[in-house]
């Protein structure tokens, strides 16, 4: 079943972000992004609006003469930035209100893709769940955004989260140094997530992990005795939330903190997003280097 991920208003709000390349400074891609002509190809890709910092020589004066606006001509091989968006579509992502985590993740990924495409970067997509889903190789054309959206709007893969499989696969696909963005709730408790990310990092890739969590997962607001059923493996447990809430909060915070320490220790970016945070605001904060939550601010 097709899902509506974005609407024009969302893109309008994103356009106001006025993305700058420095947003990727954190990603270590500054050098590549500012030397777009290293390749031989000069195939025109599209125009894009001038942003302060663009080279003046790349202004399209003809377009300026026609429209009285500054556009920069971009070419297919203008940039060496390839972004791989790894979108978690496992069952654990099908949770949350008013929007589910997978919807939030898709909306966030779409916004990020749109911003990257808008500044001429190539964006690819790999969805996964228990298995690998759709794969769209990175392309820098704006019409690629439509394909990306359709892939995101497709029903999630489902099943149990297999983060390692997805990371392994993207490692195989990304021959050049790329930006690998993992958008997941990271509810894969097997050992090796940080190691896999570090391995990608060692291969020259920039890796950023966005952990998407629902407010209920983070704050555990339940009061009555409840039978909880796992979304992925179907296991059940009856608990009195009031009796174990403190312990739960302690556990999940320890998990997230441990994950952040492990990832950042290996040069991997880590950001936790609650679904209550609007995706455009989360993107804005991320691109401007602002902390996404209080813990991050403290860190």
Partner 1 sequence: MSFLSPALLIGLLAALIPPLIHLLHRQEIKLHRFPALEFILRSHRKTARRFWLKQWLLILLRSAVLAALALAAARPILARRAEPVVLDGSAPGHAVLILDGGYPMRYQLDGSALFDHARRRAQELLSGARGQVALIVAGDTLEITTERGRVEGALDAARPGFGLGRVDEALPRALELLAEAPPGPRHIIALTTRAAARRLSPPPLPQGVELHLLDSAEGAATPNDGILDLDVRPAPEIGAGLWRVEAQLGHYAAGPAPKTAARLELEGRVVARAFVDLESGGVGRVTFFTRVEGRGPVAARVALEPDALEIDDARDFWLHPTPQIRLLAVNGDPRPTPIDDELFYFERVFAPRATAGLRVPLKIIGVEQLSAAALEGVDVLVLANVRALSLEIGATIKGFVERGGGLLVTMGDNVEPAGLNAALAGVLPRTLRDPRSAGDAAASAEGGDRRAARMSAFHPSHPILDPFDDPRASSLSVASIRRYMLLDPAPDAEGEVVIGLDEGAPLLLTRAVGRGRVALLCTSVDRGWGDLPIHPDFLPLLQRTVRHLTRISGARPAQIIQGQPAPIALDDPRARRAQITAPGGGLFTTPRPETGPWRFAQTQTPGLYEVSVDPPLPDAPQAPGFAVILDPTGSDLEGAALKDDAEGLRPVAAPVAARVELWHALLFGLLLLLLAEGLVLFKRRSS
Q: Any contact of residue 231 with partner 1 (CB under 8 A)?
A: yes
The residue assigned the tokens 């001509």 is 73
Q: How far is the CB of 115 from partner 1 (least distance, A)?
A: 28
Q: Which stretch binds partner 1 (CB under 8 A): 56-64, 151-159, 195-203, 249-257?
A: 249-257
Distance, C-alpha 144 to centroid of its chain: 17
Among 221, 238, 294, 298, binds partner 1 (CB under 8 A): 238
Contacts (CB under 8 A) with partner 1, residues 102-141? none
Q: Any contact of residue 164 with partner 1 (CB under 8 A)?
A: no
Q: Any contact of residue 255 with partner 1 (CB under 8 A)?
A: yes
Q: Which is nearer to partner 1, 57 or 227 (CB)?
A: 227
Among 225, 257, 261, 288, binds partner 1 (CB under 8 A): 225
Q: Any contact of residue 1 with partner 1 (CB under 8 A)?
A: no
Q: How far apart are CA 128 and CA 288, in angstroms?
A: 29
Q: CA distances (Å), 280 to each of 106, 162, 208, 273, in order?
A: 12, 27, 17, 12
Among 68, 227, 294, 298, binds partner 1 (CB under 8 A): 227
Among 16, 61, 98, 237, binds partner 1 (CB under 8 A): 237
The enclosing H or E element of 114 equals helix 101-118
Q: How far apart are CA 111 and CA 241, in angstroms?
A: 36
Q: Any contact of residue 226 with partner 1 (CB under 8 A)?
A: yes
Among 49, 55, 240, 295, binds partner 1 (CB under 8 A): 240
Contacts 24+ apart (CB under 8 A), 225-234: 231/91, 231/92, 231/94, 231/95, 232/90, 232/91, 232/92, 232/159, 232/160, 232/161, 232/187, 233/160
Contacts (CB under 8 A) with partner 1, residues 178-217? 185, 187, 189, 214, 216-217
Site size with partner 1, rule: CB under 8 A: 38
Q: How far apart are CA 18 and CA 159, in angstroms?
A: 38
Whether the CB-CB separation of 32 and 80 falls below 8 Å is answered with yes
Query: Is the torsion defined by CA of 257, 271, 36, 44 positive or negative?
Result: positive
Q: Which is nearer to partner 1, 192 or 267 (CB)?
A: 192
Footprint of partner 1 on this chain (CB under 8 A)? 91-93, 95, 101, 185, 187, 189, 214, 216-217, 222, 224-233, 235-240, 242-244, 246-248, 250-252, 255
């Amino acid at each position: 079943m097709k899902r509506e991920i974005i609407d024009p208003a969302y893109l309008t709000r994103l356009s106001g972000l006025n993305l700058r390349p420095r947003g990727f400074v954190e990603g270590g891609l500054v050098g590549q992004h500012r030397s777009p002509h290293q390749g031989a190809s000069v195939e025109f890709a599209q125009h894009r609006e001038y942003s302060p910092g663009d080279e003046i020589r790349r202004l399209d004066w003809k377009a300026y003469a026609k429209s009285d606006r500054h556009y920069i001509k971009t070419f297919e091989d203008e940039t060496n930035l390839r972004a791989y968006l790894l979108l978690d579509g496992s069952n654990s992502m099908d949770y949350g209100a008013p929007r589910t985590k997978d919807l939030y993740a898709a909306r966030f990924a779409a916004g990020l893709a749109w911003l990257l495409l808008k500044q001429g970067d190539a964006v690819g997509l790999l969805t996964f769940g228990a298995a690998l889903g759709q794969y769209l190789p990175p392309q820098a054309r704006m019409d690629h955004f439509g394909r990306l959206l359709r892939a995101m709007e497709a029903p999630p893969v489902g099943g149990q989260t297999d983060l390692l499989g997805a990371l392994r696969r993207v490692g195989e696909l990304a021959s050049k140094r790329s930006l690998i963005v993992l958008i997941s709730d990271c509810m894969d408790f097997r050992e090796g997530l940080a190691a896999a990310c570090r391995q990608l990092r060692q291969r020259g890739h920039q890796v950023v992990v966005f952990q998407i969590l629902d407010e209920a997962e983070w704050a555990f607001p339940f009061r009555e005795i409840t039978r909880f059923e796992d979304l992925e493996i179907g296991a059940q447990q009856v608990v009195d939330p009031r009796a174990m809430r403190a312990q739960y909060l302690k556990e999940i915070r320890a998990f997230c903190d441990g994950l952040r320490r492990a990832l950042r220790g290996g040069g991997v970016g880590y950001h936790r997003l609650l679904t209550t945070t609007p995706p455009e605001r989360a993107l804005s904060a991320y691109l401007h280097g602002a902390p996404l939550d209080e813990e991050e601010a403290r860190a």
